Structure 1
């Protein structure tokens, strides 16, 4: 069959599937089976044609709908982290990138301010923390702060604190997102001053490899939490073609998805901080392997996977004979 005739024969059904929702599970299953048949035929006779990509996109979209309509609670929970969170993150990649730039900028401000103002570190981190850290450095245990006698209590305390702080940063964003970014900037300055405190002692590299065992996950989650606050706060300001109240409702929903999606990340970061970071004198290859695994997870789950998932579920373009 010529490609033009193949398209003409099935075009009306494809357009119905694209534009209208199925009236029930049976109709959806029937549409899916027919699309799979069409796809198999198209891949056989027109493997490089646009119509093959078009049918594949339609079939993929229906497959996701079928998956999303499963009623098992465990599947809904899995769907949330497998589809909802990554797609929402991808939708707001630009805001997350802006939040990361702000983090990097103010981290630099904190680091270089500490290098030019001798009292800046104490002003930002507090005398007690600085005195304790300097005392630990003199004892040859610069990161003793992570060696709480009770690992489990430390894990629980850090986990609860970080989750609560992330929700606070998020809800502050209701005022056009500005307070969330201010909170992120202050946190970044403190971290820059913290890093400089070890830099002047010749421990900059060790501070990076130690703190980022848990900090890579923790800081990424904080950046995204503040970005979620901006998503909520700016949705009312930039409604697009929607009513402002509808845009705000959608922005709040997206922000909540992002912030709840970060909870497992905070749990994992707290596990590392409570049970792993205390062994910062571990062999360097093991230390770097842990750090690299965190980087790979972050890049995959928050950048690569959302982009691929979004590309596979985007609206197909109309095909003309």
Structure 2
């Protein structure tokens, strides 16, 4: 290979890339037009190829060093810009996209809340009137602890907060994903998940109410429940969206309905994961803490719920 001729032929491309990089480094990637961004990416690939060739053909240390520096600068700007765009997209989703998809899904969310509330009220009424029903739902050790020793089980979390918090997060995420995946069973598993959670909460509510422990129990539930329960309702709504695509595709082919409603369900899932993580941290570290007065726990729970409702009702 004639090294001087090769350098003379390729040098113009190197200078063009250097000019574009100088502009990006001074004013950012947004200063380039779409065509210039494509040119930048193309020139980066050609310089990377030139660098590999220069190393194998031993064209000289100076040329190799210059090409290495040019390729490194280009890589940094291209992939840093790509990562920045990705972070911008994530930020935009949580700022506007997630509230928007929640608003579009409000009918399914209302159905989830209605089923949960119905199951909770009916099970509370049955458990209050019938000890046999209570024993069917709640383990006997738990009933004995509440009735005989007048103690809540929440104190067992104190001292093992990190382990408890991570276990709670994993369990909540598992339940939520089960509710979403239940959509492929035409919503049967999704309906079961929301009903069983309502039954458990209603029955436990009756147990603590009968034994004058309702105030500390709900003080424990409020802080994390203000995020955890809405997240579960959103997961159930996502499952119902998938079920709707299967059962009632409407004007769409079933596969197209699954793509359409599945994308909406995926956006809900993407949004609820941070809620479940935060709720798990609160349930592990804050809710069971004996150092925090119960009235403060109620205020925190109410504040989080009001803030969440305000966030969900934002419009761009």
- Contact 1:218/1:269 (CA < 8 Å) preserved in 2? yes
The answer on whether the counterparts of 2:226 and 2:301 sit within 8 Å (CA) in structure 1 is yes
- Superposed counterparts of 1:123-272, under 5 Å: 123-134=136-147, 137=150, 141-272=151-282
* Rounded Cα–Cα distance in structure 2 between residues aligned with 1:91 and 1:199: 37
Task: Find 1:77's aligned residue among 90, 102, 106.
Answer: 90
Judging changes above 3 Å, is the alpha-carbon distance between structure 1 residues 167 and 270 closer, same or farther for their aligned structure 2 residues? same
Higher relative contact order (CA closer than 8 Å, sequence separation 6+): 1
Aligned to 1:55: none
Q: Deviations over 1:139-158 (max 9, x none)?
A: xx425445342211111111
Correspondence 1:307-318 to 2 at 5 A: 308-309=315-316
- Contact 1:166–1:226 at 8 Å: present in 2 too? yes
Tell me the distance in 2 between the aligned counterparts of 1:284 and 1:165. 28
SS at match of 2:176: helix
Deviation at 1:70, TM superposition (A): 9.8
Aligned-residue RMSD, C-alpha: 2.4
SS of structure 2 residue aligned to 1:90: helix
Give the equivalent residue in structure 2 for 1:316.
none
TM-score by length of 1: 0.68
Deviations 1:93-136 (A, max 9, x none): 01101111111111001100101211222211222333344455
In the alignment, which residue of structure 2 is the partner of 1:114? 127
Q: Say whether the 8 Å CA contact 1:134–1:142 is kept in structure 2.
A: no
Structure 2, unmatched stretches of 5+, are: 1-32, 35-81
Distance in 2 of aligned mates of 1:134 and 1:144 = 15
TM-score by length of 2: 0.69
Give the corresponding residue for 1:102: 115
Ranges of 4+ aligned residues in structure 1 off by more than 6 Å:
none
Inter-partner Cα distance in structure 1 for 2:102 and 2:285: 29
Indicate the residue corresponding to 1:39 in structure 2.
none
From the two aligned structures, give the one with the greater helix fraction: 2
**Structure 1 unaligned blocks of 5 or more:** 1-24, 27-68, 310-321
Residues 162, 266 of structure 1: 8 Å contact kept: yes
Name whichever of 88-97 and 117-126 sits farther off. 117-126
